[in-house]
Amino acid sequence: MIKKECLDTGIKPNWCPGCGNFGIWLALKQALTELDIKHEEVVVVCGIGCHGHMCNFVKTYSFEGLHGRPIPVAEGVKLANKGLKVIVVAGDGDTYGEGLNHFLMGVRGNHDITLLVHDNMIYGLTTGQTSPTSEKGRVSKSTPTGSIEVPVNPIALAIAQEGSFVARSWSADPKQLVGLIKAGITHRGFAHIDVLQNCATFNKINTVTWFKEHIYKLDEAGHDPTNREKAMLKALDLTKLGTGIFYQDKREAYDEGVPAEKGKALIDHDLENIDLTESYTQFV
CB-CB contact of 131 with 205 (8 Å) = no
What is the pLDDT at residue 2?
66
How would residue 139 be classed by pLDDT, with cut points 50, 70 and 90? Answer: very high
Q: What's the rounded Cα separation, in Å, for the pair 279 and 33?
A: 45
How would residue 140 be classed by pLDDT, with cut points 50, 70 and 90? Answer: very high
What is the pLDDT at residue 1?
61
Q: Beta 85-91 vs 42-46: how paired, if at all?
A: parallel
CB-CB contact of 188 with 255 (8 Å) = no
Q: What share of the chain is helix, strand, coil (3-state, %, to 5)?
A: 40, 15, 45
| Strand, coil or helix: 55 | helix
Q: What's the rounded Cα separation, in Å, for the pair 164 and 191?
A: 7
* Backbone region of residue 127 per phi and psi (left: phi > 0; alpha: psi in -120 to 50; beta: other values): left
**Which pLDDT tens digit goes with each residue over 223-264?**
999 999 999 999 999 999 999 999 999 999 999 998 888 877
pLDDT higher than threshold 70 for residue 19: yes
What is the pLDDT at residue 282?
87
What is the pLDDT at residue 145?
96
**Which pLDDT tens digit goes with each residue over 157-192?**
999 999 999 999 999 999 999 999 999 999 999 999
How would residue 71 be classed by pLDDT, with cut points 50, 70 and 90? Answer: very high
What is the pLDDT at residue 133?
96
Candidates 237, 255, 254, 246; CA nearest to 219 is: 246
CB-CB contact of 212 with 190 (8 Å) = no
Average pLDDT in the 279-284 region? 84
What is the pLDDT at residue 102?
97
Neighbour count for residue 108 (Cβ, 10 Å): 14
Average pLDDT in the 277-281 region? 86
- Crossing angle (nearest 10°) for helices 21-35 and 174-186: 50
What is the pLDDT at residue 276?
80
Average pLDDT in the 263-270 region? 81
Least confident piece of the model among 4-8, 17-21, 140-144, 155-159: 4-8
List the domains of the chain with CATH numbers.
4-283 (3.40.50.970)
What is the pLDDT at residue 68?
87
Q: What's the rounded Cα separation, in Å, for the pair 174 and 142?
A: 33
Q: Alpha-carbon torsion 23, 220, 35, 155, what sign?
A: negative
Average pLDDT for the chain: 93
pLDDT higher than threshold 80 for residue 284: no
Q: Alpha-carbon torsion 84, 192, 211, 93, what sign?
A: positive
